[in-house]
Structure 1
Amino acid sequence: MVGGGITGLSAAYRLREIAATREIPLEVALLERGDRVGGPLETIRRDGFVIETGADSFLSEKPWAADLARRLGLGAELIPTREIYRRTFVVRAGHLVAIPAGFSMLAPSHLGPVFFSPLFSILGKLRIALEPLIPARTDGADESLASFVTRRLGREVLERVAQPLAGGIYTADPNRLSIAATLPRFVEMERRHGSLIKGLRAAERSSTAKNRNVSGARWSLFQSFKTGMAALPKALAAKLGSSIRKSAEVVAMSRDGERWRLATANGDTVEADAVIVAAPAYATARILSSIAPRAAQLLAQISYASAATVNLAFMQSDFPAPPEAFGFVVPAIERRRIIAGSFSSFKFEGRAPDGAVLARAFVGGVLQKEMMLLSDDEIVAAVRDEFRALLGIGVTPTIVEVRRWPNSMPQYEVGHLARVTEIETLLADVPAFAIAGAAYRGVGIPDCVRSGEQASDAIFAKLISDT
C-alpha cells in the first residue's frame, strides 16, 4: 500500500478484514512518505477547543465512511450537525446575505424565496424563473460548471451561488470544472426532467424528510466525530499497527518475475505480490513512468490546487452580532482574500468552551493562488482583515492555527471522467496493481474510503484467483 491518507488506510484495513473473514494469511505493508498518517484529517485539541485543520465533516448520504466508522467501533462517536444553525450566507457587496431557502448548490426548488432575496437583481430573478423553459441538452457531452449553470440559470446564479459553493468544495475555476465529474446529480436532473427546478421539486416530493428552511449545502446530511475527524484515521492506524511504515517515500517500482519491487527514498526495498497506490496522481505518475508510460502521462495531466485553513478562537461577546449560521462563502467577483468562512462551534456540539466561538477561514485555491505565496503571519493578517470587514470582529483571537495543504486538491476539469476511464483501462493490463484516491471519482472522505476498499476487493480477488 503506497500512501497513508484516508484512502490508503481504508484500503489496508479492508484487506485485513477480507483476509480475516476468509481465514487467509495476508501481510500488509503501508508505506507513507511523511511522519504521520491521515493526510488532511488532523485534529488539534487545545484549551477546550476541537480544531480541525482539514475536513471537518463528511457526507453521510454516501454511506462508506460512516459504515467504516461503525465497523471500527466508532458508531457512538458519530454526531450530526446542529439543526438550529443549518444555513449558509454568501457575501454580496461586503455584506452577508442568506442563500434563499430551498436553494440546493446550483438551483432553487421554489421561486418564492428567490424573489424575496436581495442576493439577485430583478433581471437575475427573472432569468432563474425562466429555467424550466430552457431546452435540455441532448448530446451528452461534458461541459464546465460555468457553462452548465449559465446556460440553465444565468450568469448571476453562477457568480453569486454556484461558483462560491463549488469553490468551497473544489477550490476550482468554474470555467474548467467538469459538471459531470463533480455534480452529476444536476446533469441527471436535466436529462430526466428537462429542468433543474423541476428535478429538485420531484426530489423534494419523493423525500420523506423535507426541510425547506435549509439552504446551500444539505447540512442535515453531514456528520463528524465527537473527538474530531482524526478519530477515523487514528482508529485505522491503531488496527494496522506495525504494518504502517512512515518516512518511507516510494520513488520507483519494478516488476521482478511474479513480484513487485518498490524502492524508497531512504534506500530500502520492499517486495510484494500486489500493490495499491493511493498517492496523489502526480506522485503515482512518477512511480508508474517506466511501467505504464501512457497511463503515467494521463495521471500527470490531473492538476492540483493548494489551499490553507486558518482557525481562530474568539469569545461570543466579541461579535457585534453572532452569525447564526454554519458559515459563509465568498464569490470571486467580490475580490476578497478568503474563499469562505465557517463557525465550527455552531456547526457541531463540543467544538468550543461555553461562550467561545471557533471560526475558520479558507484561502488559496485556483482563483487565489497568490495567497499561498504569503507567510503564515500575512495570511492571518489577511483573514483578520476580512473578518473585521465582514463580521465586525476586530479583537485579537485567543488561538490562531494555520495549516497549509500544498497540491492537495485534485481538479476535475472538463473531460476528467473520460481521462480516468482511459487510465483505468490502461492499468487493467498491469498485473496485481490498482490505484485509488481522491484524484479519480470523488474528492470527499466517503469517496476516498470507497475507492480504497474497491481497490482492495479487486486486488484480493486477483490474488486468490492466481493461487
Structure 2
Amino acid sequence: MTSVAVLGGGITGLSAAYYLTSLQLINVCLPQVVLLESSSRLGGWLQSTRTEEGAIFEHGPRSLRVAGEAGANVLEMADDLGLSDQILPVLPSHEGAKNRFIYAGGKLHKLPSNFSGLFSRYELFGHQSPALLGLREPFVKSRQEEGDESVHSFFCRRLGKQFTDNAIDPMVRGIYAGDCRKLSIQALFPSMQQAERMKGSITRGLLFGPKQKGTPLKINSELLQKAQKERWALWSLREGLETLARSLKENLEKSGVELLTERRVERLEFDTTDQVNTLDEQLHVNHVISAVPSQCLSAMFAGHHPVLSDNLSVNPSVTVGLVNLEFAGAVLPSEGFGYLVPSGEPERILGVVFDSSIFPQHSRPNSTTTRLTVMMGGSWFQEQFGDPDEVETSDLLEVAIETVRRHLSITASPLRSFTTVQKDCIPQYTLGHTDRLEQMESYIAEKRLPLSLVGLSYRGWGVNDCVLSARKAVTDLLKAWEGRD
C-alpha cells in the first residue's frame, strides 16, 4: 500500500495529513499516512489557554483573515471539521477591525480606516495624505536593475522614506517580526514587484497588469458564503485557534492516521530506498511531506543532496516574546486592533494587540476586563534581551507592563499574565529567497525525489498560507500518482 510520512505536527503537517485522507481523486487509493512530531504536543504555534475565570489567551496566532484563496480554504476546512457554530467573526465596521495605530514620537497615531481617511493629512507621513502619495507613485522612475531588492529599498523608491519608515517598517515588524531592510520584496510582496516590472508602477501594475496565474481552488462552503455575504474581516474560534489543531487531530485519529509525537527525524535518504530515520527506527515510505522548518530539514540532508541542504540552511528564524496581560475594567484609551512600533523608535517592543477589543467573547464572562498581548524581540531579540535560551521571562513581563503604562496610561497591576518565548518561530525571507526556492524545487523534480516542501519556511508563514500550501502539495502529489496509473 502507498505510504506517506508527514514531518511536523504543527498546523501545516496536520493539514497535509488531513488532505491526504480527505481529498478524492479517481483511481487513487487513499495512502497510509504517518505523522512524526519531534515535541510532545501537536498544534505547533497554535496555543490557546482558558483560565478558570473563563478567559481565553492566545500564545501564538490569534485571528485569521477571510480574504483571498488562502482565507477561503481555511474556512472550508473549518466548515468540514464541524466548527461553524464555534466561529467568532469580526465585521469590517467593528472597532477591533478598523482602528489600527502606530506609536511614534511618544504618542499613538491612528491610521486611515476608510476611503475618506486616505485624503486626510497625517503627521506620521510628513503631513501628507496617503492619497497624494499614491497619486505621485506612477510618476516615480522604475528600477532598471534585475534581481531581488529589500522591502525597505523598494518602498522608499516608490512611496518615500518617511512613509516606509512609519508604515511599511512597523507593518513588517508586526507580521514577520523582521527587519524590512533585510527581507526580500520578491518573497514578501511579489505582486508589487511584478507590477513595477510589468507596468513601471505599483498602481498601474495592480490595476492593469496580468491576472494571477494558476487555477484557483474550487471551494464550495456554506460557511464561506456566509462570511462573504456578511463581509467578515477576521475570525477566531470560541475556545481559541488551537481548537482548529485539536479538531484536525481528532479527525486524523478517526481516519487511521498514525500520529507519533516525540519522534525527531535525524536523516532522510532517497538515493536507494526512500527512508525516514529517527533515533529509534527506520520507516520506508513512498513519499515525504516536510512541514518542519527549513533549518531542521537541512540537517536531515547533511552529507548528501547539498543543493537542498545548502539552500535550506540560508534563512534564519527569529524568536518572539509574547506577554499576555489582563487588567480589571475597560482601561484602553481607544478601542481597536492595536498598534505597532517602528524600528527607529527607542522602544523594546514590536507592538501591542488589543485582544479584548477584537474578541470580547474571549474575556471573562462575569466581569469587564482588558486583555492585551505585547509582542517583542523578533530580529532584535538578541540585542535587546540576550540569548533566548537564557532570558528571564520576568524581564519580558517587566518590559511589557512598563511599556503599556507609558504608551496607554495603564497604571494598574495586571490581574493575570502569561509570558511565552516562541523560539525560532518565524523564518525570515532574506534576499534571494524565491530564487533559492525555485532552485530546490527544480532539483527535486529533476532528481525525482519523493519530497514535498510545505509550511512557513517557503511561501508565506501565516496559518492560511500554511494550510493552503499543504493542500496544494497533496493535490499535486495525488494527481501525479493518478497520472502514473
Fold shared, TM-score > 0.5 on shorter chain: yes
Query: Does 2:418 match 1:390?
Result: no
How far did residue 194 of structure 1 move?
4.5
Give the structure-1-normalised TM-score.
Answer: 0.87
Please give the secondary structure, in 2, of the residue aligned with 1:297: helix
Look up the match of 2:159: 153
**Partner Cα distance (1:193, 1:75) in 2:** 42
Q: Is the CA contact (8 Å cut-off) linking 2:293 and 2:457 kept in structure 1?
A: yes
- Equivalent residues in 2 for 1:23-172, closer than 5 Å: 24-46=29-51, 47-61=53-67, 62=70, 63-82=72-91, 83-85=93-95, 86-101=98-113, 112-113=119-120, 115=121, 117-122=122-127, 130-137=136-143, 141-172=147-178
Q: Is the CA contact (8 Å cut-off) linking 1:284 and 1:299 kept in structure 2?
A: yes
- Equivalent residues in 2 for 1:14-25, closer than 5 Å: 14-18=19-23, 24-25=29-30
Q: State which drifts further: 457-466 or 61-70.
A: 457-466
The code of the aligned residue for 2:64 comes to: F
Query: Does 2:394 match 1:377?
Result: yes
Q: Could you tell me which of 248, 251, 255 is aligned with 1:239?
A: 251
Q: Is the CA contact (8 Å cut-off) linking 1:285 and 1:299 kept in structure 2?
A: yes
Q: Is the CA contact (8 Å cut-off) linking 2:25 and 2:478 kept in structure 1?
A: no
- Equivalent residues in 2 for 1:189-338, closer than 5 Å: 189-191=195-197, 194-196=200-202, 221-241=233-253, 243-255=258-270, 257=272, 259-265=273-279, 267-317=280-330, 319=331, 321-338=332-349
CA 1:335 to 1:202, structure 2 compared with 1: closer, same or farther past 3 Å? farther
CA 1:254 to 1:197, structure 2 compared with 1: closer, same or farther past 3 Å? closer
Query: Does 2:461 match 1:454?
Result: no
Over the aligned positions, Cα root-mean-square deviation in angstroms equals: 2.7
Q: Could you tell me which of 432, 435, 441 is aligned with 1:418?
A: 435
For residues 382-435 of structure 1, the C-alpha deviation after alignment (integer angstroms, 9 at most, x for no partner) is: 011110110011211111111111111111112211111001111222432212
**Partner Cα distance (1:403, 1:248) in 2:** 24
Q: State which drifts further: 18-27 or 381-390.
A: 18-27
**Partner Cα distance (2:397, 2:14) in 1:** 32
How far did residue 23 of structure 1 move?
7.1
**Partner Cα distance (1:133, 1:240) in 2:** 54
**Partner Cα distance (1:129, 1:466) in 2:** 53
How far did residue 84 of structure 1 move?
2.5
How far did residue 19 of structure 1 move?
6.0
How far did residue 129 of structure 1 move?
6.2
**Partner Cα distance (1:136, 1:76) in 2:** 49
The code of the aligned residue for 1:94 comes to: G
Structure 2: stretches of 5+ with no match in the other structure: 1-5, 210-230
Q: State which drifts further: 268-277 or 31-40.
A: 268-277
Please give the secondary structure, in 2, of the residue aligned with 1:333: coil
Q: Is the CA contact (8 Å cut-off) linking 2:25 and 2:479 kept in structure 1?
A: no
Q: Is the CA contact (8 Å cut-off) linking 2:8 and 2:290 kept in structure 1?
A: yes
**Partner Cα distance (2:300, 2:84) in 1:** 37
Please give the secondary structure, in 1, of the residue aligned with 2:7: coil
Please give the secondary structure, in 2, of the residue aligned with 1:357: strand
Look up the match of 2:212: none
**Partner Cα distance (1:283, 1:112) in 2:** 48
Identity of aligned residues (%): 28
**Partner Cα distance (1:157, 1:192) in 2:** 24
Q: Is the CA contact (8 Å cut-off) linking 1:285 and 1:295 kept in structure 2?
A: yes
For residues 358-396 of structure 1, the C-alpha deviation after alignment (integer angstroms, 9 at most, x for no partner) is: 110111111343345331000000011110110011211
Aligned length: 441
CA 1:195 to 1:56, structure 2 compared with 1: closer, same or farther past 3 Å? same
**Partner Cα distance (1:253, 1:186) in 2:** 37
**Partner Cα distance (2:118, 2:141) in 1:** 19
Give the structure-2-normalised TM-score.
Answer: 0.84
For residues 170-201 of structure 1, the C-alpha deviation after alignment (integer angstroms, 9 at most, x for no partner) is: 11111111112112233344456654466788
How far did residue 220 of structure 1 move?
5.2
For residues 20-60 of structure 1, the C-alpha deviation after alignment (integer angstroms, 9 at most, x for no partner) is: 98672521100000011111011111122111100011222
CA 1:183 to 1:79, structure 2 compared with 1: closer, same or farther past 3 Å? farther
CA 1:133 to 1:465, structure 2 compared with 1: closer, same or farther past 3 Å? closer
**Partner Cα distance (1:25, 1:325) in 2:** 46
